[in-house]
Chains A and B, each alone.
Chain A
Amino acid sequence: MNQLRQRRSFWQRIHIDLPLLIALLVMMAGSLAVVYSASGQNMDMMARHATRMLGAIIALFVMAQISPNTLKRLVFPLYTVGLIMLIGVFFFGITINGAKRWLDIGITRFQPSEIMKLGVPMMVAWYIGRQQLPPKILHIFIGFAIVLVPTILIQKQPDLGTSLLIASSGIFVLFLSGLSWRLIGSSVLLAIPGAFAMWHFVMHEYQKQRVLTLLDPESDPLGAGYHIIQSKIAIGSGGIEGKGWLHGTQSQLEFLPERHTDFIFSVLSEEFGLLGVVMLLSVYLFIIGRGLYIAVNAQEAFSKLLAGALTLTFFVYIFVNIGMVSGLLPVVGVPLPLISYGGTSMVTLMAGFGIIMAIATDKKMLLK
Chain B
Amino acid sequence: MIKNRPTIRDHSAEANLFARRAFVGFVFVVLLIGVLLNNIYTLQVEKHETYQTRSNDNRIKVIPIAPNRGLIYDRNGVLLAENRPVYNLEVIPEQVTDLEQSLEQLGAIISITDTQKNAIIKSNRRSRRFKSQVLKARLNEQEVAIFSVNQHRFPGFSVEARLARHYPYGDALTHALGYVSRLNKKELSELESQGLAKNYRATHDFGKLGIEKFYEQRLHGQVGSQRVEVNNRGRIIRSLSIEHPKPGEDLVLTLDIGLQKIAQEVLEGVRGAIVVMDPKDGGILALYSNPSYDPNLFVHGISSKDYRALLNPDRPLINRATQGRYAPASTVKPHLAILALEEGIVKEETKIWDPGFFQIPNVEHRWRDWLRWGHGHVDVYEAIEQSCDTYFYETAYKLGITKISNFMSQFGFGDLSGIDIHEETAAIMPTTEWKRQRFKESWWPGDTISVGIGQGYWTATPMQITNAVSILVNKGIHRPPHLVQVAKQDNDVEQMYTEEKPPVVLKNPHHWKIALDAMHNTVKKARGTAHKAFLGATYDPAGKTGTAQIVSIAQGEEYDAESLKEKHRDNGIYVGFAPYNDPRIVVTVIVENQGGGSTIAAPIARKLMDYYFETYPSHTEGK
Q: Which residues of A contact B (CB under 8 A)?
A: 132-134, 172, 175-178, 230, 232-240, 249-250, 253-255, 269, 273-274, 277-278, 281, 284-285, 288-289, 292, 295-296, 301, 304-305, 308, 312, 315, 319, 322-323, 326-328
What are 17 A-B residue pairs whose CB atoms fall within 8 Å in the complex?
A132-B14, A177-B21, A230-B58, A232-B43, A235-B40, A236-B52, A237-B55, A237-B56, A249-B56, A250-B58, A277-B37, A296-B22, A304-B18, A308-B22, A308-B25, A319-B32, A323-B39
A288 touches B51 (CB 8 A): no
B40 touches A269 (CB 8 A): yes
For the complex, what is the distance from the CA of A37 to the CA of B364, rounded to whole Å? Answer: 106
- Known A133-B18, A296-B22; contact A240-B32, beta-carbon cutoff 8 A: no
Taking CB atoms, residues of chain A closer than 8 Å to B30 are 285
Additional A-B contacts beyond A233-B51, A295-B22 (15; CB < 8 A): A132-B9, A133-B9, A133-B17, A178-B18, A236-B47, A236-B50, A236-B54, A237-B52, A249-B58, A249-B59, A249-B229, A254-B231, A255-B58, A308-B18, A327-B43
Within residues 40 to 91 of chain B, which ones have a CB less than 8 A from any CB in chain A?
40-41, 43-45, 47-48, 50-52, 54-56, 58-59
Contact of A274 among B22, B35, B45, B51 (CB under 8 A): B45
Whether, in the assembled complex, B232 has its beta carbon less than 8 Å from a beta carbon of chain A, the answer is: yes
Smallest beta-carbon distance B22→chain A, Å? 5
Taking CB atoms, residues of chain B closer than 8 Å to A277 are 37, 40, 44
A176 touches B44 (CB 8 A): no
Taking CB atoms, residues of chain B closer than 8 Å to A240 are 44-45, 48
Whether, in the assembled complex, B554 has its beta carbon less than 8 Å from a beta carbon of chain A, the answer is: no
Taking CB atoms, residues of chain A closer than 8 Å to B21 are 175-178, 308
B44 touches A327 (CB 8 A): no
A249 touches B25 (CB 8 A): no
For the complex, what is the distance from the CA of A362 to the CA of B60, rounded to whole Å? Answer: 58
Smallest beta-carbon distance A222→chain B, Å? 12
Smallest beta-carbon distance A106→chain B, Å? 37
Taking CB atoms, residues of chain B closer than 8 Å to A315 are 29, 32
How many residue pairs bridge A and B at CB < 8 Å?
A: 139
For the complex, what is the distance from the CA of A239 to the CA of B52, rounded to whole Å? Answer: 8
- Known A288-B29, A323-B36; contact A239-B22, beta-carbon cutoff 8 A: no
Whether, in the assembled complex, B19 has its beta carbon less than 8 Å from a beta carbon of chain A, the answer is: yes
Taking CB atoms, residues of chain B closer than 8 Å to A278 are 37
A269, A278, A296: which has the most chain B beta carbons within 10 Å? A296
Contact of B54 among A237, A301, A319 (CB under 8 A): A237
Taking CB atoms, residues of chain A closer than 8 Å to B55 are 233-234, 236-237, 249-250
Smallest beta-carbon distance B63→chain A, Å? 16
Smallest beta-carbon distance A70→chain B, Å? 22
Whether, in the assembled complex, B370 has its beta carbon less than 8 Å from a beta carbon of chain A, the answer is: no
Taking CB atoms, residues of chain B closer than 8 Å to A273 are 44
- Nearest 10 A/B pairs, CB to CB: A236-B51, A237-B55, A236-B43, A253-B231, A254-B232, A133-B14, A237-B51, A178-B17, A274-B44, A249-B59
For the complex, what is the distance from the CA of A270 to the CA of B231, rounded to whole Å? Answer: 16
Contact of B44 among A177, A238, A295 (CB under 8 A): A238
Taking CB atoms, residues of chain B closer than 8 Å to A323 are 36, 39
For the complex, what is the distance from the CA of A134 to the CA of B21, rounded to whole Å? Answer: 11
For the complex, what is the distance from the CA of A233 to the CA of B52, rounded to whole Å? Answer: 7
Smallest beta-carbon distance B544→chain A, Å? 74
For the complex, what is the distance from the CA of A160 to the CA of B5, rounded to whole Å? Answer: 39
Smallest beta-carbon distance B395→chain A, Å? 81
Smallest beta-carbon distance A329→chain B, Å? 10
For the complex, what is the distance from the CA of A172 to the CA of B18, rounded to whole Å? Answer: 12
Contact of A285 among B29, B47, B50, B231 (CB under 8 A): B29
Smallest beta-carbon distance B7→chain A, Å? 7
- Known A269-B40, A328-B39; contact A134-B58, beta-carbon cutoff 8 A: no
A292 touches B22 (CB 8 A): yes
Whether, in the assembled complex, B270 has its beta carbon less than 8 Å from a beta carbon of chain A, the answer is: no
